Homo-oligomer: A and B are copies of this chain.
Amino acid sequence: MNGWTGKLLRINLSEEEFYLETIPDSVLRDYIGGRGLGVKLYYDIVNPEIDPLSDENPLVFTTGPLTGIAPMSGRHSAVSKSPLTGTILDSNSGGNWGKELKYAGYDALVIEGRAEKPVYVKIENGDVSVESAEKLWGLDVKTVTGHLSPYGSVATIGPAGEKGVLYASIMNDGTHALGRGGLGAIMGSKNLKAIVVRGTNKPKVAHIERYKNAMREMIRLLEASPPINKGLKVFGTSMLYDIVNYLDVMPTNNFNDVHFDGGDELSGDSIVSRYAIKSEGCWGCPIKCKKWDAERNIELPEYETIWAFGPNIENGNYEKVVKANLKCNMYGMDTISTGATLAMWREIKGENLIDSVESVIHHEDLKLGSMRIARKYGADDRRTDVKGMELPGYDPRGLYGQALSYATSNRGGCHLRAYMVAPEIIGKPKLIHRLNPEGKAGLVVIFQNLNAVIDSLILCKFTAFAMTEVEYADLLSAATGINYRAEDLLRIGERIYNLERIFNVKAGFSGEDDTLPEKIFKGKHALSREIFNDMLNQYYEFRGWKNGVPTEETLRKLGIYD
């Protein structure tokens, strides 16, 4: 079929063997690519009770039918079971790596087993090899990337992944991250330091004229979108700092407050006025939301990172945030979980580690993340995570839709599974009341399903500031030749969300886990438990779930049989 190669490359590190398999057309059609395809392939291979850091836990990388042929499509997904949360985990990253994997001819890459000694995987179109990485082991992300980049685009772990930090990331193209949930620790557990890929075969689309028109339409809409043109292009995600703080939804001091007064240096306006800004983008991106300090040639932090090393540990010094961000990227660690873990440590132990972020790698408590620290020190009521994944810098107490989406996210406390930031803070595609439960349950379902689709196409989520299902469907139909209607896409998103949920149920999760930290329900800014429970019950009703578990009827309706 056009849009897909149908090829799955399976590499078993224990046996040092490779297999080329064919993915059934129906799987590609019904799960598209990226997150959807990754979840489906992973689900079909794995016993959900598997230990995430065991040899048997596979790591699935995927591309999608739009990867490398549309604007903002330079992305790939990875799916596995998270060592941080124990849930199914999908993560996606920008840059160039996904486009190379797609051009090399693969819809999916599955890594299984464990190498005896450190190795890296080298892929150049049809040529695949496993090489020794003994000389690379222990090296930081930028050094490894520099060593291997002559062979292609590099995805690598840093020392954090090697040491089993539960929130270690996989970094590609130097500064792009499969950040959340500890995929880097899984690579580390396999003695797999890096995967370097080069591909030279650009995929064909089914209907070239229709595709060109759809692309033109996409570019026109991107150019017209205010949050893109006035926000992301100029400030990157730091555009969010001022509005988040203004609305009192800035988690501060480990979620003990919702507003930070000392952050003048941290706002987008202030940053852009102080630094010589250079804009960098992923493959095929006209926005270039990544901002660099042109003078020192270093990347500047995203909004969530500014929050994590700023307000959440009551630090107003931007340069300290910049340094912490650089260290996280060098050592290969998720900045949100790192910052949240530091904030928890500061609250419980009174020790501020902002200047020695790298120390978490060797620290038996800190490497396990905030939930396990709170538990160990009898401070369960101080937790700031959902299902073990630390909440990011959008306070659920002032964002009812985001609150519900955190609680019901299949990978734990993540803002990107429904991205209610768009309607609740930015007012796109439609402003909704932040502090009103009305209609939130239905909207969270719709946005979760939509984001599952965007993650599967796979496109950058920021496209949703300009495009709707109508344009996504048009682009996908033109590329694949399959007639997807806008409504079909939402149904596919629903299917993916339910399949993830079923995995989690089999892994031991239930509706009891669809909740928020106790802190959120306490204090002067508290979210009412009654309101939250009402929204959650409505959410289950709309989802066709009973106590967080999809009913048989719901699964049958979606074509999921087990």
A→B interface (CB under 8 Å): 217, 220-221, 223-226, 426-434, 436-443, 445-446, 450, 468-471, 486-487, 490, 541-542
The 8 Å CB contact of A470, one of B427, B446, B486, B542, is B427
12 new A-B contacts, CB < 8 A, other than A428-B470, A438-B445, A443-B443, are A221-B226, A427-B486, A430-B430, A430-B450, A430-B469, A431-B468, A432-B446, A433-B490, A434-B487, A438-B442, A438-B542, A439-B542
B438 in contact with A470 (CB, 8 Å): no
A217 near B223 with CB under 8 A, answer no
In the complex, the answer to whether A468 meets B223 with C-beta atoms within 8 Å is no
| Structural contact, A428 and B468, CB atoms closer than 8 A | yes
Q: Smallest CB-CB separation from A221: which chain B residue?
A: B224
Known A429-B429, A441-B439: A471·B226 in contact at CB below 8 Å: yes
Are A469 and B427 interface neighbours, CB within 8 A? yes
* Least Cβ–Cβ distance between A451 and chain B, in angstroms: 12
What is the chain B residue whose CB lies nearest that of A435? B487
Inter-chain CA distance A441–B541, complex, in Å, is: 14
A328 to chain B, nearest CB (A): 33
Q: Which residues in B have their C-beta under 8 angstroms from that of A486?
A: 427, 431
| A443: chain B residues within 8 A (beta carbon) | 439, 442-443
Residue of B nearest to A443 (CB): B439
6 closest A-B pairs (Cβ-Cβ)?
Answer: A439-B442, A224-B224, A438-B542, A429-B429, A438-B442, A431-B469
Q: What are 27 A-B contacts defined by CB distance under 8 Å?
A: A221-B224, A221-B226, A223-B224, A426-B470, A427-B468, A427-B470, A427-B486, A428-B429, A428-B470, A429-B429, A429-B430, A429-B468, A430-B430, A430-B446, A430-B468, A430-B469, A431-B468, A431-B469, A432-B446, A438-B445, A438-B542, A439-B441, A439-B445, A440-B442, A441-B442, A442-B442, A443-B443
Q: For residue A429, which residue of chain B has the nearest CB?
A: B429
Q: How far is the CA of A437 from the CA of B469 in the complex (A)?
A: 19
Say whether A470 contacts B431, CB under 8 Å. yes
Docked pose: A396 CA to B541 CA in angstroms: 22
Return chain B residues, CB-CB under 8 Å to A221.
Answer: 224, 226
The interface residues of chain B lying within 8 Å CB-to-CB of A471 are: 226
Residues on B with C-beta less than 8 A from A434 are 487
Q: Which residues of the other chain, B, contact A432 by a CB distance below 8 angstroms?
A: 446
A385 to B431 Cα, complex, angstroms: 31
- Check if A487 sits within 8 Å of B439, measured CB to CB: no
Q: Most chain-B Cβ atoms within 10 A of its Cβ — which of A223, A224, A426, A442?
A: A442
CA distance A469 to B424 in the complex (A): 12
- For A489, the closest partner residue in chain B by CB is B431
Asked whether, in the complex, the Cβ of B542 is within 8 Å of the Cβ of A431, the reply is no
Residue of B nearest to A464 (CB): B430
Q: How far is the CA of A226 from the CA of B5 in the complex (A)?
A: 32
Residues of B within 8 A of A429 (CB): 428-430, 468
| Chain B residue at smallest Cβ distance from A230 | B217
How far is the CB of A528 from the nearest CB of chain B, in Å?
Answer: 15
Q: Which of B220, B439, B445, B446 contacts A446 (CB 8 A)?
A: B439
Which chain B residue shows the least CB distance to A222? B224
State how many angstroms separate the Cβ of A407 from the closest Cβ of chain B: 17
> Which residue of B has the minimal Cβ distance to A491?
B433
